[in-house]
Structure 1
């Protein structure tokens, strides 16, 4: 994971810029370059029947210049610190398409974006940039909540049995990324795997019903063995390993709250549009239920993690 070349998505409608704050914190630690992208759009300026083409172009240019001036003023203290900043203000929509264009142009190691909670309706309509970037951003995506960065605690969510249909290589890349962040920034890292046996009411196999407790015990043993086998390949302290029983969207947010986690590291894969719209990735559901930052890594077409 390239930690020296960062892209930050700026929201001109917000007075605070949590994504910029988090990216600047990281850049101070390792002298990274910051590329800032602000996407501007006003539907009124696309109403061609109200403007002739020349006036429309001049009005758009004036608006972009105004945003550029605002952004330059906003980052002046960071420039004074000596941070390397590159600013880009663009016109267009949807926002995530322009972000993906910028990613293709400059090849950043990380994309930072503020992550305000979205309504279920907006998610189902595939209209929110956060959800679209989780699905389609080819490099690691760091979604920044509005909460404060506390003690530098990182939680890495793993799936060694691949029940969520993730490539096996993705778990290894998540661990490697966590170890890299630990070395670079002194983060404390916990590794978590959650599993959920079928409830008794949903077990229809006669043999399993007769020995339900045995089924639960075998399931726990299978997950523990896979979890320990995966982590045993790395220098990870047993105290940092946590096997949790329950559905990920329930037990992971609880673990995050109880352990004051600042950053949750997860993997995500893209499926068909209808499937993701109606079901959603675990990473997407986590964004609705946790107050900490979320760092999402995705595999590329060959099974390795994008951004490596």
Structure 2
């Protein structure tokens, strides 16, 4: 049985079949999951007019929502012809964290799929304040689909934290790998495992020089990190040629790696004390998530 029984798509309020739409539809068809499509939209002009003339407000709101329901209904009919079970809903609310998270709690999906904001001239994803809130608060795996990735992923990269071997770290790493593995099975994609060791040298010297006490400290830490990483890889039967131990700050090394590897999905942990929070929040987070030329799948512990 597939791990995906219910997929929630945060559909485009402009009524376009975006990268997230195509990704969610394909995954629902492949896994046999039910696809829930939801549009969150609230027209500011209609809302403002309602403050002046409440009599026509209800009709204007209804017409606005009905247009989007018709579009979703048309998409649902087309997807039904492909054997995809669907439900859809239009919520009169600004696309903000609370209404989306409330809907996630109501639908209880196995994964949420949403578009990242795409800028063609930058060739990258730009994450909005809403995206950051959802990354931190969404209780289920959350994918930001990229127009730069294949609809059917061919290479999936699971980024783990091998700096420590504690129950908390192991649990999150296992969840990351499990999600990456489930997705790779559905897509018949290659699964790669990567860890980027942000050693003391890279934290102090951008050039990564290893001299004096810094070099000695790095040399003493390296074997432990390597053993932890190899233990994770062996536990999950990741082939040796798909294990990648990188040296440097994840904000620089991971985008560079997924670009060179032509990866389609980068799977990261997203909880306090995880790799994402410890290494990536703030400017580092913006650097890796905006620079990675692929879809991002965030996994909560």
TM-score normalised per structure 2: 0.84
Paired with 1:279 and 1:210, the residues of 2 have a C-alpha distance of: 30
CA-CA distance at 1:184 after TM superposition: 3.2
Structure 1 match to 2:263: 261
Q: Contact 1:117 / 1:288 at 8 angstroms: preserved in 2?
A: no
Cα 1:282–1:35, aligned 2, differ >3 Å: closer, same or farther? farther
Paired with 2:11 and 2:94, the residues of 1 have a C-alpha distance of: 14
Q: Contact 1:3 / 1:32 at 8 angstroms: preserved in 2?
A: yes
CA-CA distance at 1:62 after TM superposition: 1.2
Cα 1:16–1:182, aligned 2, differ >3 Å: closer, same or farther? closer
Structure 2 match to 1:306: none
Matched, 1:198 2:208: no
Unmatched 5+ stretches in structure 2? none
Cα 1:88–1:245, aligned 2, differ >3 Å: closer, same or farther? same
The alignment yields a C-alpha RMSD, in angstroms, of 3.0
Paired with 2:216 and 2:95, the residues of 1 have a C-alpha distance of: 52
Give deviations 1:120-156, integer Å, cap 9, x for gaps.
xx97xxx632111111110000110112416611000
Cα 1:298–1:282, aligned 2, differ >3 Å: closer, same or farther? farther
Structure 2 match to 1:175: 177
Matched, 1:97 2:95: no
Unmatched 5+ stretches in structure 1? 300-308
CA-CA distance at 1:25 after TM superposition: 1.1
Query: What does residue range 183-194 of structure 1 map to in structure 2 within 5 Å?
Result: 183-194=185-196
Q: Secondary structure at the match of 1:159?
A: coil
Structure 2 match to 1:108: 109
Structure 1 match to 2:61: 60
Figure out how many residues of one structure are paired with residues of the other and give that number: 284
Paired with 2:105 and 2:6, the residues of 1 have a C-alpha distance of: 13
Cα 1:295–1:49, aligned 2, differ >3 Å: closer, same or farther? closer
Q: Secondary structure at the match of 2:117?
A: coil
Cα 1:57–1:288, aligned 2, differ >3 Å: closer, same or farther? same
Give deviations 1:103-126, integer Å, cap 9, x for gaps.
11110000000001599xx97xxx
Q: Secondary structure at the match of 1:232?
A: helix
Paired with 2:38 and 2:284, the residues of 1 have a C-alpha distance of: 28
